[in-house]
Structure 1
Amino acid sequence: MTTDTITAVDASVTTLKLAPALPVKGAKPQWFSETGLSDDLYPYKHLLPTFDGHLKLPPLTEFEHKDPGHEAKEHADPLAFLANSDVDELTPRFGSEVTGVQLSQLDDAGRQQLALFVAQRGVVAFRDQDFIDQPPEWQIRNWGQFFGRPHIHPTSGAPEGYPEFHLVYRSPNSTLNFERPDQLTSVLWHSDVTYEKQPPGLTALFLYDSPKSGGDTSYVDQRQAYQRLSPPFAAFLETLKATHSGVEQAEHSRKGKRGGIVKREPVINEHPIVRRHPVTGEKALFVNRQFTRRIVGFKKEESDALLELLYGHIEKGADFQVRLRWKPRTVVLWDNRVTAHSALVDFDAVTTAKRHGARITSQAERPYI
């Protein structure tokens, strides 16, 4: 099996309208866990995590990526796909909620405009979507590949037959997420798999089931984090690179955590501490506590001190963060190049709580300044 997945979209893979999980006419959408129905009736059982300890993937190869948002800038109306929608800005510069747009129905032009809009707003929640009930083949090969090469996570569980899905899953009996019960908080700010040579761009996350409350996701704008720095300090940071490592994540898995699998050997790559978005031209900090390890050329104490300053700045920036509440049939899209995020595990005391979702992670260009 190769990680250079899918070089052309199969035209036979089209959208398919499936019956919603709870097809009660006029009923308010519910999470399955709210219905009181037996788990035997869970409509997404076929998308629960599996762990293939024999699957070994080769190293990822480089590829040329062109962001579809470039094309949207040439359109007469670069955001025409929003014409009949309701857009609620969560903050003036960062984060939006949208109703009135069906992601599954966007044509190529609409998807290009979507890529530009997500790049501009950082993170966008699309409500009342039928996306969740489209075939996984379409979600990966038609949707995910449009925005970049679908990434196969090196350690996470995936539904059988769909390794490109990165699953988040927590049941009352087990957890497959990075939870840290020996620490004071579950918050861990990160951008996804930044240890890859070509980390993700536009990323999609949708939940099949969730607790009625809790389990929100917080996002931080790394562009504003950069913009608030003094010009001389920002200019200094632009001269620096840092290492990003997947080794610790792999070792965590080798110890039997989160399914205990390592599908691809971990890598360490260097990226600029400040990166530029290829479509908007905006600069953003590109460090995160989970995967960034050391500033290249610095002694350990120097690197630790500077990275800790940046981490603290990002984590304390409530005035450039948003907290998104999950609702049934929501799809959250974010640009992994200019944001960081953290799951909030505040439902761990609810003995019946289950959280099950999938992430489609499209790789983008190698970071540059």
Structure 2
Amino acid sequence: MAPPPPADVASGVFTHALREPPTGPTQYSEAFVSGPKVYSKEAEEKGTETQPAAKYKHYLPTWDANKTYPPLQPFEHIEHGKDADTSYPNLLGGASRVVELTGNTGSEVHGIQLSKLTDAGKDELARFVAERKVVAFRDQDFADIPIQEALDFGGYFGRHHIHPASGAPADHPEVHLVHRGADDTTARDFFVENTNSVRWHSDVTYENQPPGTTFLYLLDGPAAGGDTLFVNQAAAYKRLSPDFQKRLHGLTAIHSAHEQANNSKQRGGIVRREPITSEHPLIRTHPSTGEKALFVNPQFTRRIPQLKKEESDYLLRFLYDHISKGADFQARVKWAPGTVVVWDNRVTAHSALIDWDDGQRRHLARITPQAERPFETPF
């Protein structure tokens, strides 16, 4: 394999296309697959014997096999949370209730409407989410306002990411859909070969500028189940000993899109952009809070290039194990109608759960603003 091109000196980040994905200690595996082969739009529009029609038909996924996009180009990201008022008067001033999900990770907010926030409120939202890592806002109107209005709101926080493989609402490729239809059997099929559905990841970390403040809102869901787990990657970093932290600084990791692209092709899906790999710091600094966080995940991270393969695999396995076992720096978000979950992809990882039976629809929409190139500050 040819060596990667020279680094961008200012950012310390490599981005390069590879003919084959790099190998790593884990294989890419999606618990929630979606594509033309496992999707009947007619059944979703009309309903089935056990499930009514989809509540939000204009949000049903579409795939245009003829539409492709060029490689993403660099852009200047504005971090709105950096100078926000941390007493949060424009965000939480009208809240009826703010509850911490756990002692160190996650909050739940009632009584405010995100879509009505001023720019000052949006700045405070970015900072509050960076501090709490994940925040569930209840009784929101995101699903009911025009899709373009939801996109206009999300676009304040960064350039919209267009997912290379997922389905999207017609004419709105910027919306990433998490969809499992009422007659989908992926749960039954998935557990033939897997013992659990936990797949920790931060979204599309293979991009040169991965997402920051991210929005996911419920359109339709099972009566119970389908919760989302979040892990606080800043707390995971802090839990390590100082000597171990110091050893991790200066290391980078290769993140790959190849496995996701191949997975999409195998199930009859699409690939809108050629897959790439990017090289990011193993320890990432948040531009707003200054917090340091682990920036690896078993879905997209493949190799620590400064180490020999066996050494890299050993270290990544330890970090993945540390993340997965850290129930004391994790939070679990339960979905309900009208819920919008906002999290910061720079300092968290997450996993959806399959814990309900086939025959119930799970349908969510994600707005995914990209952020800055990951960077590291000195130990």
TM class, shorter-length: 0.7 to 0.9
Paired position in structure 2 for 1:26: none
Secondary structure, aligned partner of 2:193: coil
Identity of aligned residues (%): 56
Does structure 1 residue 337 correspond to structure 2 residue 342? no
Paired position in structure 2 for 1:62: 74
Secondary structure, aligned partner of 1:363: coil
Cα distance, 1:159 vs structure 2: 0.9
Cα distance in 1, alignment partners of residues 334 and 288 from structure 2: 28
- Contact conserved, 1:79 with 1:114, CA < 8 A, in 2? no
Cα distance in 2, alignment partners of residues 76 and 226 from structure 1: 23
Secondary structure, aligned partner of 1:254: helix
Cα distance in 1, alignment partners of residues 322 and 339 from structure 2: 30
Cα distance in 2, alignment partners of residues 139 and 38 from structure 1: 31
- Contact conserved, 1:168 with 1:176, CA < 8 A, in 2? no
Secondary structure, aligned partner of 1:359: strand
Paired position in structure 2 for 1:146: 156
Cα distance in 1, alignment partners of residues 111 and 347 from structure 2: 26
Pick aligned residue for 1:255 from 266, 269, 281 = 266
Cα distance in 1, alignment partners of residues 191 and 247 from structure 2: 34
Cα gap change, 1:46/1:197 in structure 2, threshold over 3 Å: closer, same or farther? same
Cα gap change, 1:144/1:342 in structure 2, threshold over 3 Å: closer, same or farther? same
Paired position in structure 2 for 1:357: 364
Paired position in structure 1 for 2:212: 201
Paired position in structure 2 for 1:125: 136
Unaligned runs of 5+ in 2: 1-43
- Contact conserved, 1:65 with 1:148, CA < 8 A, in 2? yes
Cα distance in 2, alignment partners of residues 80 and 127 from structure 1: 17
- 1:1-369 → structure 2 map (5 Å cutoff): 42-72=54-84, 75=85, 77-85=87-95, 86-140=97-151, 142-174=152-184, 181-257=192-268, 260-347=269-356, 350-369=357-376
Secondary structure, aligned partner of 1:252: helix
What TM-score do you get using the length of structure 1 for normalisation?
A: 0.85
What TM-score do you get using the length of structure 2 for normalisation?
A: 0.83
User: Larger deviation: 77-86 or 261-270?
Assistant: 77-86
Secondary structure, aligned partner of 1:289: coil
Cα gap change, 1:37/1:47 in structure 2, threshold over 3 Å: closer, same or farther? farther
Look up the equivalent residue of 1:366 and give its one-letter code: R
Cα distance in 2, alignment partners of residues 54 and 175 from structure 1: 28
Cα distance in 2, alignment partners of residues 272 and 193 from structure 1: 15
Cα distance, 1:38 vs structure 2: 9.2
Cα gap change, 1:123/1:55 in structure 2, threshold over 3 Å: closer, same or farther? same
Look up the equivalent residue of 1:56 and give its one-letter code: T
Cα distance in 2, alignment partners of residues 358 and 105 from structure 1: 19
Look up the equivalent residue of 1:238 and give its one-letter code: H
